[in-house]
Amino acid sequence: MKISLLPVTSTPQPYSRVTQHPAELLRIFDTGTQVVRWQRCTNLVITTYLQQVTTSGLLISGFRTCLKANQQLDPIHLPDGPGRSALADDIHQLSVLYHDLLGCPMVGLRLEVLHNAMCPRFHVDRTGIRMTCTYLGPGTEWIDDVQVDRTRLGAGANGLPDTQSGLFTTDETSIEAASCFDVVLLKGTLWQGNTAQGAIHRSPATTPSDNPRILLVIDALWD
């Protein structure tokens, strides 16, 4: 998948953006923008496949791998069944899109099968720009930093939950969330000029009765 170049501005832009078009993912490079969400339609073939392989126990722990630019994902990483090739193709398309955005020689790719929230507290990643896509279950959640006190993230919370640490500076703090199949770009503190910023996000809450959450994460590899 190729995306057309858009002008990148150094003028501070909105903290987060929502778009219907993959070309708008380039807005993650704008100064001040920390989250870009590309809304996509659910692929029922992939959804059905993941429900079947998780229920049957064929997909338990996911996988981790590295891909070069335009390298196809080997379907061997996924259990056999109707829909496996559709998921492999979608992961490949997203990795190519990410390659095109970042210009990195390789990507680190992981598919997580989660029964509990991986990162339940709001936090900022020490990464450059990360791509995520939830294929099954609730999507990643984030909040605008104008509604929080960043000093209360991590150790600054003094062990208190987010609702008691003083993180939220208003009673009306709104939590945004991605839907299944949405592609989300999260800018971290290691991105140039972004040391004191970064997308404030967390994993969604789950219950024991929920089906596993299937999450794809892609990061740039430079060496």
CATH class of 16-221: mainly beta
- So what's the pLDDT on residue 6? 58
Q: Is 70 exposed, middle or buried (0-12, 13-18, 19+ CB in 10 A)?
A: exposed
Q: How confident is the model at residue 171 (pLDDT cuts 50, 70, 90)?
A: confident
- So what's the pLDDT on residue 11? 63
When pLDDT is averaged across residues 171-195 and rounded to a whole number, the result is 92
Q: Please provide the average confidence, as pLDDT, over all residues in the chain.
A: 89
Contact 25, 2 (CB under 8 A): no
Q: How confident is the model at residue 42 (pLDDT cuts 50, 70, 90)?
A: very high
| φ, ψ at 98 (rounded to 5°) | -65, -40
User: If you write DSSP's letter for every residue of 158-223 in order, what string do you get?
Assistant: TT--TTTTT-BSSTTPPPEEPPTT-EEEEE-TTSTT-TT---EEEPPP--TTSPPEEEEEEEEE--
**Over the stretch 104-127, which tens digit does the pLDDT of each residue have?**
999 999 999 998 767 788 999 999
Cα 29 → chain centroid? 16
**Over the stretch 184-217, which tens digit does the pLDDT of each residue have?**
999 999 999 999 899 999 988 876 656 789 999 9
CA distance 214 to 146: 30
**pLDDT at residue 160 is higher than 90:** no
- So what's the pLDDT on residue 154? 82
Q: Domain boundaries in the chain? A: 16-221
CA distance 223 to 213: 31
Q: How confident is the model at residue 148 (pLDDT cuts 50, 70, 90)?
A: confident
Q: How confident is the model at residue 12 (pLDDT cuts 50, 70, 90)?
A: low
- So what's the pLDDT on residue 58? 93
Q: Which pTM does this prediction carry?
A: 0.90
- So what's the pLDDT on residue 94? 97
